[in-house]
């Protein structure tokens, strides 16, 4: 019976905890807070997780798995490389509207294994998908043929966490989602051919002056 209920209870705790981390930041959420939020005792919470670090790791892993699944779905349905980026942009709006500005800082400083999990996801799954998107765009005549795919893909990933840099973009002045979308749009326009620019403007419902 315990084995059967384990995935459901652990999943419920992980999901609830991640929602709290996104809302308040990881550092500011304690095991007491998680237990209280779920209306369970700390003893029950510690039955499934030995410490907060494990909660952070498993909730991060579950979240990245969901994001990966969503990305695969968007890519499969995209009509072209630019449509694919706009699909990702829509996901970005959804994701970054719910994430606390301190979450990457908290992961890197206090939860190294979870940070390494994120880095592995970024440098493996995300890097491969960014490369595939650039190659697709070149083949479709939407991105420039002279692009260095490896450099462009790694540059894209290097600036992924930039909107969360409080020194570059103080959170009281800049909304993370707005910065992230501006960065993505700049990246997309920088790679586009004239054909690509026109298609981007169609998606944006803007008529470009020739």
Structural domains in the chain, CATH included, are 61-204 (1.10.357.10)
Q: What is the rounded distance in angstroms from the CA atom of residue 154 to the CA atom of residue 179?
A: 19
- Rounded to two decimals, the pTM is 0.83
Longest distance between any two alpha carbons in the chain, whole Å: 68
The answer on pLDDT for 210 being more than 90 is no
The answer on pLDDT for 167 being more than 60 is yes
45-101 confidence digits (pLDDT tens):
999 999 999 999 999 999 999 889 988 988 899 999 999 998 887 777 777 767 787
pLDDT for the residue numbered 206? 55
72-84 confidence digits (pLDDT tens):
988 899 999 999 9
169-199 confidence digits (pLDDT tens):
998 898 888 888 888 889 999 999 999 999 9
Q: What tokens does 209 get?
A: 């002056």
3-state secondary structure of 32: helix
pLDDT for the residue numbered 143? 98
Residue 156 pLDDT level (bands cut at 50, 70, 90)? very high
> H-type helices in 38-162, by residue range?
42-48, 52-77, 81-96, 103-110, 112-121, 127-139, 149-158
């Amino acid at each position: 019976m315990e084995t059967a209920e384990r995935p459901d209870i652990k999943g419920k705790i992980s999901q609830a905890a991640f929602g709290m981390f996104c809302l308040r930041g990881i550092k500011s959420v304690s095991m007491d807070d998680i237990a209280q939020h779920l209306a369970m005792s700390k003893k029950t919470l510690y039955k499934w997780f030995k410490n907060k670090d494990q909660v952070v790791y498993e909730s991060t892993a579950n979240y990245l798995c969901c994001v990966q699944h969503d990305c695969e779905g968007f890519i499969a349905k995209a009509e072209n490389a630019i449509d694919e980026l706009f699909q990702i942009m829509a996901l970005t709006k959804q994701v970054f509207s719910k994430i606390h500005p301190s979450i990457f800082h908290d992961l890197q400083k206090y939860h190294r294994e979870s940070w390494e999990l994120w880095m592995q996801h970024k440098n493996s799954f995300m890097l491969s998908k960014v490369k595939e998107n650039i190659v697709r765009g070149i083949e479709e005549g939407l991105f420039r043929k002279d692009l260095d795919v490896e450099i462009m893909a790694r540059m894209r990933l290097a600036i992924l966490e930039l909107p969360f840099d409080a020194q570059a973009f103080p959170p009281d002045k800049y909304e993370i989602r707005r910065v992230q979308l501006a960065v993505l749009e700049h990246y997309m326009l920088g790679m586009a051919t004239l054909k690509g620019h026109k298609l981007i403007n169609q998606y944006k419902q803007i008529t470009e002056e020739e």
